[in-house]
Amino acid sequence: MARLSIRQKKTISKSIKLTHQELNLILNYNNDWDNLNLKPIKDRIRDFYLKEQNKLCAFCKLPFRDDIHVEHVVPKSGKYGRKEYAFVGINLAVACKHCNSKKSTNNDMIPWSLSPYPQSGMYFKILHPHFDDYFKHIEIVDNSRYVRKTLKGHNTIERCKLYDPKILEVLSECMRYQDDPLIQGVLRLREIQGNFKATIDNFINAIFR
Ligand SMILES: [Zn+2]
């Protein structure tokens, strides 16, 4: 399954554009991510990036097993959090429960006091899903482990604990099928979202259940 994502230059090729109405609402509620009135916007953000990321977590590149979290690359809260980036499209991605909780409110942006969001991956110590090519920094070796290729890759593996046995178990399970042309073909069909999406999803659920 990871092979599908190797084709992607960056994990995310375009960021969500919020409408004026949505931006006004966010302003009214003072960028408060947890305000219930902003939930529809959060849902739209989650669905947008889920599709954009081909239903793979931004940090482990594995399919979602349980909750789908909207991940703030620069955290919205905590000691180094930046609330003003809570709804900035380029700061957002979707991540699995494991990666999101391990990353927590750690901030891996280099000290940056300006208000506009940095526009390059060089300002981040870990992989930035909007700027960086995942497989330039991390390699999946022996279909069973994540190996750093760069310092950023190392930092990302450490930050998200991509050596956790639970994650490696899922990785091995997914990679079992990467050389199977039939399953890869089916996954490719699902990726392009053809008319057979529901049938294909049932098929995939049967395989990966
Ligand atoms: Zn993950």
Domain spans in the chain, listed from the N-terminal domain onward: 2-178
Asked if residue 39 has pLDDT above 90, the reply is yes
Which one has a higher pLDDT value, 2 or 158? Answer: 158
Compute the mean pLDDT over every residue in the chain, rounded to the nearest whole number.
88
Tell me, in angstroms, the distance from the centre of ligand 1 to residue 187's CA.
19
Q: Give residue 169 CA to ligand 1 midpoint distance, Å.
A: 13
Q: How far is the CA of 25 from the centre of ligand 1 (A)?
A: 30
Q: Are 44 and 94 in contact (CB under 8 A)?
A: no
How far is ligand 1, taken at its centre, from the CA of residue 95, in Å?
A: 5
Instruction: State the pLDDT confidence band at 184, using cuts at 50, 70 and 90.
Output: confident
Q: What is the pLDDT of residues 3-18, one digit of tens each?
A: 544 545 567 889 999 9
- Per-residue HEC secondary structure of the chain comes to CHHHHHCCCCCCCCCCCCCHHHHHHHHHCCCCCCCHHHHHHHHHHHHHHHHHCCCECCCCCCECCCCEEEEECCCCCCCCCCHHHCCCHHHEEEEEHHHHHHHCCCCCECCCCCCCCCCCHHHECCCCCCCCCHHHHEEEECCCEEEECCHHHHHHHHHCCCCCHHHHHHHHHHHCCCCCHHHHHHHHHHHCCCCCHHHHHHHHHHHHC
pTM: 0.83
36 Cα: distance to centroid of ligand 1 (angstroms): 26
Q: Are 63 and 55 in contact (CB under 8 A)?
A: yes
Lowest-confidence segment of 9-18, 68-77, 133-142, 191-200 by average pLDDT: 191-200
Query: Which position has the higher pLDDT, 43 or 105?
Result: 43
Alpha carbon of 133 to ligand 1 centroid (Å): 16
Cross-strand bridge partners of residue 124: 109
Percent of the chain clearing pLDDT 90 (strictly above): 64
Beta bridge partners of 138: 148
Task: Select from 209, 171, 203, 173 the least CA-distant residue to 187.
Answer: 203
User: Is residue 178 over pLDDT 80?
Assistant: no
pLDDT per residue as tens digits for the range 140-163: 998 899 999 999 999 999 999 999
Q: How many A from CA of 118 to the centre of ligand 1?
A: 24
Question: So what's the pLDDT on residue 73?
Answer: 95
- Whether 198 has a pLDDT exceeding 70, the answer reads yes
| Centroid of ligand 1 to alpha carbon of 145 (angstroms) | 13
